[in-house]
A and B are shown apart, each in its own frame.
Chain A
Amino acid sequence: MTAVIEIRDLHKYFGPLEVLKGIDFQVDEREVVCVIGPSGSGKSTLLRCVNRLEEPTSGTILIEGEDITDEDADVDALRTKIGMVFQQFNLFPHLTVLNNLTIAQTKVLGRTKEEAEQVAREMLDRVGVLEKVHEYPIRLSGGQQQRVAIARALCMNPDMMLFDEPTSSLDPELVGEVLNVMRDLASDGMTMLVVTHEMTFAEEVADRVVFMDEGVVVEEGPPAQVLTQPRTERARRFLRMVLEK
């Protein structure tokens, strides 16, 4: 198997605060990796460094072998290969669902309007919100908005998807529909890096779970091992607290 995302000795400072203290790990093709850990552990920052929404202080990140942290890297082109889903959905409120899905296809990939709309409908159908194609995002429920956001990312035909706590701002009854879409994606063989608090999802879907705390990877391995028989005390304490709530 080849590494789709390879992170080497990644450090990130916010001012004097070191949030990532040397991260090394990789995500292989068709692999689903879930990153868990307490808030403030740096997991979202790590994810945002992968497509350089956050500028790493030092270290390298290879996307399909190409260094995205290189000064000469074509970051915009690399980003089209990396789909990203945000906690706050970040749909474009001034555009209809359809135009949310077509704008980057036409302006970045240079697809024609017809092509883009066909792809958009296909993806909306895949996430089960095709009937909302002409609505504005504000008219959709949180779960529908997040599914549209996933469809928007899929329209670029990415080779991998990053999920930044995709269900954390959803009402509890809407979490399931988003996780189902992600589950389908995983079983279709999408390479996924998911920052999440959904332990059941991680246990079921992830090939590997990475536990982060205070800017370092404390533990990683198959979900059965990390989630049920963690080796470190820190991971044990975190899981105890998460499962108690």
Chain B
Amino acid sequence: MAITPRRRRQLIRGLLYIVAATILVGAIASADWERIQRSFFQPDVVRRMLPEVLSLAARNTLIYTAGSFTIGLVLALVLALMKLSEIGPYRWFAIGYIELFRGLPALITILFFGFGLPIAFGGLRLPGGTLGTGSVALGVVAAAYMAETIRAGIQAVPRGQAEAARSLGMSGPRAMGSIVLPQAFRIIIPPLTNEFVLLIKDTSLLFVLGTTPMTRELTNFARSFMTTTQNATPLTVAAVVYLIITLPLTYLVRRLERRTARAR
């Protein structure tokens, strides 16, 4: 007797559950739990990392992120306005900048600011030491991405808004500042928050600057602990701290996106 389509769907579904369960049970049974626990979840290593993992490493990660986000946002706003400018050279510069820094690995830019500039210009260093250099390097990269986001936001504001503002006698810059930009930023809050999360993770690249103990961020901090303890637990700790910072933010982005979707 032929199998009905419904029966067939049930069989396939049951089979998929069995496969999943087998893999899970097999993995649990064959794993060396004692060893995993020793390597990744060593309580005394966790204790040795506290409180500095929070008071120093997480703090530095947030300083790098906030610094580069601020620098990036200001630069990005200027670039976005340049890209929308009627004056050719401004537009071309913005396009060149955006394509350059989106096309390069962030690591190259970081090395350029950290080592390229000092080598080329006889020890020229950016103010603020490693914290300053790292923030500027990441900010310069982030600006390229955020400029496109801001430009899209500006263009998403209906043309009638600027026209209404101009018809009331506002100058072009004033209409942009008081009417268009506030609406554009509302539109781009979700993608900008996303950019912020990406920056948090990108601060881990700053380990190449050879940061001193005081300027270490999470990844670098974990890495040095891993070397001294010959144990992988610091990675777990860093991962957990990263997630504590990023998960609420990604959740926030999802909520904001749903809200803007509803508003339309």
Q: Residues of A with Cβ closer than 8 Å to B?
A: 51, 53, 76-77, 79-80, 82-84, 86, 88, 90-94, 103-104, 107-109, 149, 152-153, 156
Contacts and interface: CB of A to CB of B under 8 A. Distances in A.
Contact of A107 (B158, B164, B178): B178
A79 B169 contact: yes
Contacts of A156: 168-169
A77 B169 contact: yes
Interface residues of B, number: 18
A55 to B, nearest CB: 12
B260 interface: no
Contacts of B178: 103, 107
B174 A107 contact: yes
A76 B170 contact: yes
Interface of B: 158, 160-161, 163-171, 174, 178-179, 182-183, 186
A104 B160 contact: no
Among A83, A91, A92: residue with most chain B CB under 10 A: A92
Contacts, number: 59
B183 A93 contact: yes
Given A86-B163, A90-B163, A104 B170 contact: yes
A149 B165 CA distance: 12
Contact of B183 (A88, A94, A107): A94
Given A84-B164, A92-B161, A108-B174, 12 more contacts: A79-B166, A80-B169, A86-B160, A86-B164, A88-B158, A88-B160, A90-B160, A91-B164, A93-B183, A149-B164, A152-B168, A156-B169
A92 to B, nearest CB: 6
A90 B168 contact: no
Contacts of B174: 107-108
Contacts of A103: 178-179
Contacts of A109: 169
**Interface SS of chain B: helix, strand, loop or mixed?**
helix
Nearest to A52: B166
25 contacts: A53-B163, A53-B167, A76-B166, A76-B171, A79-B169, A80-B168, A80-B169, A82-B167, A86-B160, A86-B164, A90-B160, A90-B161, A91-B164, A92-B161, A103-B179, A104-B165, A104-B168, A107-B170, A107-B178, A109-B169, A149-B164, A152-B168, A153-B167, A156-B168, A156-B169
Contacts of A93: 183
B170 A108 contact: yes
Contacts of A83: 167
A93 B170 CA distance: 17
B169 A108 contact: yes
Nearest to B263: A138
Nearest to A108: B169
A94 B169 contact: no
Minimum-distance CB pairs A-B, first 3: A80-B169, A104-B168, A90-B164
Contacts of A104: 165, 168-170
B168 A94 contact: no
A101 to B, nearest CB: 10
B171 to A, nearest CB: 5
Nearest to A79: B169
Given A94-B182, A94-B183, A153 B168 contact: yes
A79 B179 contact: no
Contacts of A152: 168
A134 B164 CA distance: 20
